[in-house]
Amino acid sequence: MRKKILFLVVMMTSVTNQLNAQRADLLFMVEHAIKAPSGHNTQPWKFKINEHSVDIYPDYGKALPVVDPDNRELFVSLGCATENLCIAATIKGYRSEVSVAADGLIHIDLQRDTTITPSPLFPQIAMRQTNRNVYDGRIIPVDSICELQAMEKEPAVGVRFFRNGSHEFNMIADLILAGNSRQMDDEHFIAELKQWMRYNKKHADGTHDGLSYAVFGAPNLPRFISQPVMGMFINGKQQNKGDRKKIASSSHLVLFTTEANTIEQWVALGRTLERYLLKMTAMGIAIGYMNQPNEVKDLALTMTSSLGLGSQYPTVLIRIGYSERAPYSQRRPVETVLLP
Ligand SMILES: Cc1cc2nc3c(=O)[nH]c(=O)nc-3n(C[C@H](O)[C@H](O)[C@H](O)COP(=O)(O)O)c2cc1C
């Protein structure tokens, strides 16, 4: 009898230890998922850690109804987080399988697999950043662009590169500037943007989210000074003045498209985008977003017809080039995004 009880205790302890180790592995994956980019750094995600899977839920409380009324960029951000999670899973020896429900719940099944090799993109998860600097003007060599073009994409996702100086590059640049003028003319757009601005270190440290003074290259000043000063730069004229230099200093514009405007394809685009961002980070390439023309519907239509995209939806536009590194943005602590 005693032997039986001892055996049961040993068995139960071993199962508990295994479950604890597994939960630690899955938590490690979530810690890397939340390093993903998101529009205005809202971090619109919640995670549920299960025994052999992680569920990612959209957090609509962090939606951006003015700039992103269909939650398209929200789901692209969730796709970026999904990709980070799957890459981190390889480090712990897990195979991942992603499924996306029609309501946007992302389920990632995670099974141990001794044949899994660690992803070479993992070290870049902590290094990746959005870089809003004026770049140094150097053009990325053709070989590097070819290497990027050859990367694996999720089904239905397209990636197009436009070299600085080309007719298409100049046409998209004009649409970016038109997008700035339109967005900055909209008081609701400005109000939403200001809601996510973090005007000094104390403000940024208080929320661990949003667009901090530091990522715009502003100094850390008392809020009664920084808020009105930064506010002076939030208008179409100033935005276009800055963006003209930023675009001119970039090597390429890169456009990510989907075949359909569905949650599943937005998540697929996010996964592809994150893979590209990590690979570019490894190649020493800086990345900044210029998503204005995709966010203003009629400009997106103009881009679709001018670039001959056919039935493809232009969804994320980035500029790439070479630059010094920029300050990093903050993330909320992982405990605050875990569901019980
Ligand atoms: C779908 C998507 C759209 C974005 N659009 C813009 C944009 O138009 N302009 C911009 O400056 N940053 C944009 N960003 C970048 C976010 O602001 C950035 O990811 C966030 O502030 C976190 O910073 P990090 O990327 O350095 O971690 C976008 C990010 C995502 C995922």
Q: CB-based contacts of 270: which residues, under 8 Å, 6+ apart?
A: 36, 75, 76, 77, 78, 79, 80, 81, 82, 83
| Helices H / strands E in the chain, number of each | 11, 10
Distance CA 95, CA 333 (A): 26
* Cα dist from 276 to 91, 149, 159, 195, 319, whole Å: 19, 9, 10, 30, 12
Pocket test for ligand 1, best of 82, 135, 289 (most atoms within 8 A of CB): 289
Closest ligand 1 atom to residue 35 Cα is 27
More confident residue, 143 or 217: 143
Q: Is pLDDT above 90 for 1?
A: no
pLDDT of 13 over the 90 cut:
no
pLDDT digits (tens, 9 = 90+) for 147-157: 999 999 999 99
Pairing relationship of beta strands 197-198 and 211-212 according to DSSP bridges: parallel
Could you tell me the distance, in angstroms and rounded to a whole number, from the CA of residue 111 to the centre of ligand 1? 32
Inform me whether the pLDDT recorded for 108 exceeds 80: yes
For residue 309, report the distance from its CA to the centre of ligand 1, in Å: 24
H helix intervals, 110-166: 142-149
The predicted-structure confidence for 24-35, as pLDDT tens digits, reads as follows 999 999 999 999
Which helix (H) or strand (E) covers residue 194, if one does?
A: helix 187-195
| CB distance 319 to ligand 1 below 6 Å | no
Pocket test for ligand 1, best of 32, 38, 274 (most atoms within 8 A of CB): 38
Residue 51 pLDDT exceeds 80: yes
pLDDT tens track for 324-340: 999 999 999 999 999 99
Which residue do the tokens 């870049």 mark? Answer: 124
Where in the chain does DSSP place strands (E)?
Answer: 45-49, 53-58, 94-100, 106-112, 157-163, 197-198, 211-212, 252-258, 286-289, 313-321
CA distances from 42 to 133, 177, 243, 276, 280 (A): 21, 24, 23, 21, 23
* pLDDT exceeds 80 at position 11: no
- The response to whether residue 76 sits with its C-beta less than 6 Å from ligand 1 reads yes
Separation of CA 34 and ligand 1 centre (Å): 14
Average pLDDT taken over every residue of the chain:
96
Domains belonging to the chain, first-starting first, are 2-124 (3.40.109.10), 142-321 (3.40.109.10)
Model confidence at 97, pLDDT cuts 50, 70, 90, reads very high
Strand partners, 94: 112
Q: Is 34 in the pocket of ligand 1 (CB under 6 A)?
A: no
Specify the residue for token string 């939806």: 313
Instruction: Give me the sheet containing 53-58, strands edge to edge.
Output: 45-49, 53-58, 106-112, 94-100
Residue 9's pLDDT is 73
* Predicted local distance difference test score (pLDDT) of residue 10: 72
Nearest to 47 by CA among 59, 34, 56: 56
pLDDT at residue 305, rounded to an integer: 96
Name residue 275's amino acid.
R
Residue 257 in contact with ligand 1 by CB distance below 6 A? no
Residue 242, both tokens: 């800055």
Ligand 1, pocket-test mutation among 130, 213, 246, most atoms within 8 A of CB: 130
Specify whether the CB–CB gap between 213 and 124 falls below 8 A: no
Residue 67 has pLDDT above 90, yes or no: yes
- Does 236 score more than 90 pLDDT? yes
Residue 178 and residue 300: Cα distance in Å, rounded? Answer: 11
* Per-residue model confidence as pLDDT tens digits over 296-321: 999 999 999 999 999 999 999 999 99
Tell me the whole-structure pTM to 2 decimals.
0.96
> Among candidates 162, 136, 166, which has minimal Cα distance to 149?
162
Segment 235-246 mean pLDDT: 96
Q: Is the pLDDT of residue 111 over 80?
A: yes
Does residue 19 have a pLDDT over 80?
no
Among 6-15, 39-48, 203-212, 290-299, which is the least confidently predicted range? 6-15
Check if 197 has its Cβ closer than 6 Å to any atom of ligand 1.
no
Long-range pairs, 264-267, Cβ under 8 A, ≥24: 264/100, 264/102, 265/156, 265/157, 266/72, 266/75, 266/76, 266/79, 266/315, 267/75, 267/76, 267/78, 267/79, 267/82, 267/98, 267/100, 267/106
208: amino acid identity, one letter: H
Asked if 128 and 278 count as a contact pair (C-beta separation under 8 A), the reply is: yes
What is the Å distance from ligand 1's center to 209 Cα?
Answer: 12
Ligand 1 contact, 71 CB (< 6 A): no
